[in-house]
Amino acid sequence: MASKELKIAITGANGFIGKNLTSELKNQGFINQSHITRDTTLEELKSILKEAEFVFHLAGVNRPILESEFEKGNKDFTQQIIETLVELNNTVPLVVSSSTQASNDNPYGRSKKAAEEAVEKYANDNNVDCGIYRLPNVFGKWSKPNYNSAIATFCHNIAHDLPIQVNDPNVELTLVYIDDVINEFIKCLDGMDTLYREVPVVHKKKLGEIVDLIYSFKASRENKSVPKLDDLCEKKLYSTYLSFLPEDQFSYELKMNVDQRGSFTEFIKTVDRGQVSINISKPGITKGNHWHHTKNEKFLVVSGSGIIRFRKPGEEKVIEYFVSGDKLEVVDIPVGYTHNIENLGETDMVTVMWVNEPFNPENPDTYFLEV
């Protein structure tokens, strides 16, 4: 287990991956970090590397103005890091974020491949643990649109009502989520048994499917839906999309159905996990007096006080449950019992109501009967 006192140097600390790594290292107690950015001077760089006990080399160039910047920002800077460590006689473990593009014969790919070769030589010559990660498309919070990934661009543009361009919706993207990348990087602090390493959780989705999902996230505020959270890729894409919401649009209004009794407001609807609504009852008001064949519910009074009553059709026995926001307790509403809920207090009573299926006006499965 790596010591929390470990002195960690991080290049590219202000970048997408760097910000996520530095934050999570801090969360886990690794506070002895030195950050190397574009503003770091040569003397500062040497001073940091002299004291470092582990180096994460995340800095690189992928969208330069001049093609020559690929070699300078990827190959040459990696070589400079390595040469400085050797000169200082401080050959410490090194983890490098490379790219799947390193296998391609283009300026960016060649510069990444050359950086990998420099790391491999450093590891072999100095008998030191190193890790090279050829990352595919990385997505997640704090990524930059029109720079880090297509996912960032799509999330930003759709969240901000800007157009997007999809040349071929059938193109399959290979994706890794930033949290999975960071967790894998941090494991390297405890040692590395191989040079070329992979993030174990990889997602593959067609571009068109990704775009449709992101548009569905935007529409979810209107239709009150939530994504399929048992689909790990969809869950991570939704979290990423939310991180791109305009800062003045974090909230959204719900339609409140208001009458003299109080109000009823639908909150969340799902096809497979039911519907959540918020019911507000005025003092002295009774709601319900109906039963269901198959539809079932859960009531949770979170403010105020009242009573929930049950009776089987054809029987006289009435079952009563007193409920209060002072003692949170869920009351199941079994099928085959007519039921109602009455506000016994002097203030509004607020009840969170879950039902196992969204309301279907063609088959409401709701039958009026006084308790």
Helix (H, G, I), strand (E, B) or coil at 10: strand
User: Can you read off the two tokens belonging to residue 178?
Assistant: 């930033």
> Computed over its alpha carbons, how large is the radius of gyration of the chain?
29
Helix (H, G, I), strand (E, B) or coil at 275: strand
Q: Are 354 and 275 in contact (CB under 8 A)?
A: yes
108 is known as an active-site residue: yes
Q: Rounded to whole angstroms, how far apart are CA atoms 87 and 93?
A: 15
Bridge partners of residue 263, in order along the sequence: 258, 280
Q: Rounded to whole angstroms, how far apart are CA atoms 209 and 65?
A: 32
Q: Are 258 and 213 in contact (CB under 8 A)?
A: no
Q: Rounded to whole angstroms, how far apart are CA atoms 173 and 168?
A: 11
Q: Smallest Cα–Cα separation from 189: which of 131, 239, 272?
A: 131
Residue showing tokens 């401080």 = 90
* Strand 94-99 relative to strand 130-135, pairing: parallel
User: Can you read off the two tokens belonging to residue 129?
Assistant: 């643990």
Q: Rounded to whole angstroms, how far apart are CA atoms 295 and 303?
A: 25
- Per DSSP, helices labelled H in the chain are 16-27, 42-51, 68-70, 77-87, 107-126, 150-159, 178-187, 207-223, 232-242
Listing DSSP states for 39-96 in one string gives T--HHHHHHHHHH-SEEEE----SS-SSTHHHIIIIIIHHHHHHHHHHHTT----EEE
Given the residues 108, 133, 177, 238, the one annotated as active site? 108
Helix (H, G, I), strand (E, B) or coil at 11: strand
How many alpha carbons lie under 13 Å from residue 164 in its C-beta half-sphere? 24
Q: Which of the residues are catalytic?
A: 108
